[in-house]
Amino acid sequence: MSDKPLNVALLGCGSVGSQVVRLLTEQADDLEARVGAPVRLVGVAVRRLDAPREVEVPEGLLTTDAESLVAREDVDVVVEVIGGIEPARSLILRALEHGASVVSANKALLAEDGPTLFEAAGKASRDLYYEAAVAGAIPILRPLRESLAGDRVTRVLGIVNGTTNFILDKMDTSGAGFSEALEEAQELGYAEADPTADVEGFDAAAKAAILASLAFHTRVTASDVYREGISEVTAADVASARDMGAVVKLLAIAELSDERVSVRVHPAMIPRSHPLASVREAYNAVFVESQAAGQLMFYGPGAGGAPTASAVLGDLVTVARNRLTGTTGAGESAYAEREVRPMGETTTRYHVAIDVDDRAGVLAEVAQAFAAHDVSIQTVRQEGRGADAQLVVVSHQATDAQLAATVDRLRQMEIVRDVTSVMRVEGDAE
């Protein structure tokens, strides 16, 4: 035990930061015992001194001068929960330069410019931990970085955005359309007034980049991630998934095949028997497949002030212990330098709904369009008659490029009135 306190500077005191202050205050004794020294909050940087706060920040700690706070000689750990790229990046770099270790929850920054931060941490021989950046309270980054360090991860499938999972779950359980489900999510506080970052998959793409980097020991940034959101998912898609024993989820997928990495975020149908299908409402889960361990699932609340603060505090305790013993944890592991596979070469199965003329020979012509691009068909179902006739085709594995060419061809065919839905199918949905 040391009497010398570990000094913590907090950047941001919003949803997450206020809960960090609360836990640091309420659990001070336990934290001291676990770390081996008192953990003392020495400053809290915010944008507005007079904004209402969810916690009472101890007298004299609030400041708007984040730059000076991170450069203080007596600060051991800087916790960054401001969010966004700047000034968060400059403040983290400055903190490392001045000898502090850093804990951050900032997925956007880590996915956009993680390597710059890791290099600065390495150069300064300081820790940079960021468990809270992906899936809130769920411990997933440390298991990938440490527990599975002796295994070979082959695939990571994640439901890493609570807003979109809530919306898709509503669509599945109530038959609602996207707009109606989004409105309900907004009323209940699960979606922001401007929901773009969530519903268009930007938030999940940042998390996919972070997961892929750790899983495959390769630098993957947000710009490497193929991204499609859920705003085009219709009630008919969801019903069609249901008919084949599946459910629609927004998945963040990172895969290793032929030593190349594929990283993508898009809605997909997964069988109801898949563990991820049971992830309801705004919960998150990450499903990991690895060579020796097999299949693992990590599940829990993926957002919210207190759950996210739990992950931040976990990092803080680890970083503080390392400080006391004069060590650092494992830094960035990007030795594998694997190539990122272009989306067109990524293979998966597809569900395609096609409005067709209801007459003899249509099925053969549609099958021919798939065959022309070497896309083999697993099942075909006809729904409706006359003007409502629709064919629902599920393909075997094909590349994105093959499928796109098939859909182009279908759209040009006289017997095809419209291709109403194209959705990827993950897992073994029938």
Ligand X SMILES: NC(=O)c1ccc[n+]([C@@H]2O[C@H](COP(=O)([O-])OP(=O)(O)OC[C@H]3O[C@@H](n4cnc5c(N)ncnc54)[C@H](OP(=O)(O)O)[C@@H]3O)[C@@H](O)[C@H]2O)c1
Per CB under 6 A, residues contacting ligand X are 11-17, 45-48, 51, 66, 81-83, 87, 105-107, 132, 136, 303-304, 308
Least CB distance to ligand X at residue 48 (A): 4
Distances (CA, A) of 311 to 39, 114, 285: 16, 19, 15
* Minimum CB distance to ligand X smaller for 81 or for 403: 81
Whose CB is nearest to ligand X? 14
The length of the chain in residues reads 430
Least CB distance to ligand X at residue 172 (A): 23
Which two three-digit tokens encode residue 294? 């097999």
**SS3 call for 395:** strand
**SS3 call for 86:** coil
Distances (CA, A) of 198 to 100, 188, 194: 32, 15, 9
Distances (CA, A) of 112 to 89, 223, 405: 10, 8, 32
Least CB distance to ligand X at residue 104 (A): 7
249 a catalytic residue: no
CB-count burial class (<10 Å; 0-12, 13-18, 19+) for 35: buried
* Minimum CB distance to ligand X smaller for 164 or for 346: 164
Least CB distance to ligand X at residue 131 (A): 10
Phi, psi of 112 (to 5 degrees): -85, -40
Phi, psi of 335 (to 5 degrees): -65, -25
Give me Rg for the CA atoms of the chain: 24
Instruction: Report the distance separating Cα 156 and Cα 200, nearest Å.
Output: 20
- Catalytic residue chosen out of the listed positions 107, 170, 207, 249: 207
* Minimum CB distance to ligand X smaller for 62 or for 394: 62
* Minimum CB distance to ligand X smaller for 39 or for 66: 66
* Minimum CB distance to ligand X smaller for 55 or for 369: 55
Least CB distance to ligand X at residue 269 (A): 27
Residues noted as catalytic: 207
